[in-house]
Structure 1
């Protein structure tokens, strides 16, 4: 069972998110919060697998809450859910440790897919968000692309295979199945990759994989 915390200052939105998530028999909403401070307190008390946070909330915004949650309850993975897709929000959310970024206008199935992906150790961005994150590296930012390729060149062949799958959003279990590795071995490879690439989390590693042009096909 995937245990989820929802944080949004609109009660109707919380009810809608709960209904969507609990339509999946493997997902249980264990706590609802109306602001960022309640989200942090609820996460520390209930230790959910995933926290789904709105960005704009009173008392404490979702971006600040995400940073504190990932720092104090590292076992909880964070998904940001918002009506806004501004690049600054995306950068701050991913920099704060969020592993998912979803737009409220997206297909409800994306919410379930995103929660499942991050709960399994993967990352998930709405397709529109993914295009915005990746676009600069496909539109002529050659310097960053060269830097990324140079960094990736320091990886072993197996680490590059893992990174390519990580860049496609695969979870540790999916990477292990594809490469015929046990999940514990995959975790070791991912940890080594993060250190060698000097990135903070899987999402930053995935972005770097896109920059370097080594993402595995879906």
Structure 2
């Protein structure tokens, strides 16, 4: 979000982290079409997610749980440490009740289950980001 932008017009710089290329493409299209998110990097695993969070200092990281090399839960503390202002939203096929507490304890702002509609995804992410801007 740039200086002088209000919450209602802010465009949030975002890193996507998912090992499935088709899902990264879907998330990119959905988020960028909303006009509220700019994808600045796409990570294929947790190692890249930490690297890109460090390099880009994004407003948001959308982080899958199950990825090769380093999973999202393991990457989470590295992202939070490298970019403390960044909101991290976990997005996974695992049921929320199984990992929500672990994700929140690691510093995630929200845990979402894959399968939500594109409109729900944008709405959930905007809620997280607007909480950040207003606090």
Structure 2 unaligned regions, length at least 5: 1-10
Counterpart of 1:142 in structure 2 is none
Give TM-score, length-normalised by structure 2: 0.86
Structure with more relative contact order (C-alpha pairs < 8 Å, separation 6 or more): 2
RMSD: 1.4
Question: Whole-Å Cα distance in 1 between the matches of residues 96 and 68 of structure 2?
Answer: 19
Work out whether 1:112 is the aligned partner of 2:117: no
Structure (1 or 2) with the greater helix fraction: 1
User: What's the TM-score once normalised by structure 1's chain length?
Assistant: 0.54
Which of the two has greater strand per residue? 2
Decide which of 49, 52, 56 is 1:42's aligned counterpart: 52
Tell me by how many angstroms 1:7 deviates.
Answer: 0.3
Q: Which runs of 4+ in 1 moved over 3 A?
A: none
Which residue of 2 is the match for residue 3 of structure 1?
A: 13
Contact 1:50 1:118 survives alignment (8 Å): no
Structure 1 residue 23 displacement after superposition: 1.1
Aligned residues: 125
* CA offset digits 1:126-146 (Å, max 9, x no partner): xxxxxxxxxxxxxxxxxxxxx
Task: Give 2:3's aligned residue.
Answer: none
The Cα shift of 1:26 comes to: 2.0
CA distance in 2, matches of 1:102, 1:87: 10
Bigger CA radius of gyration: 1
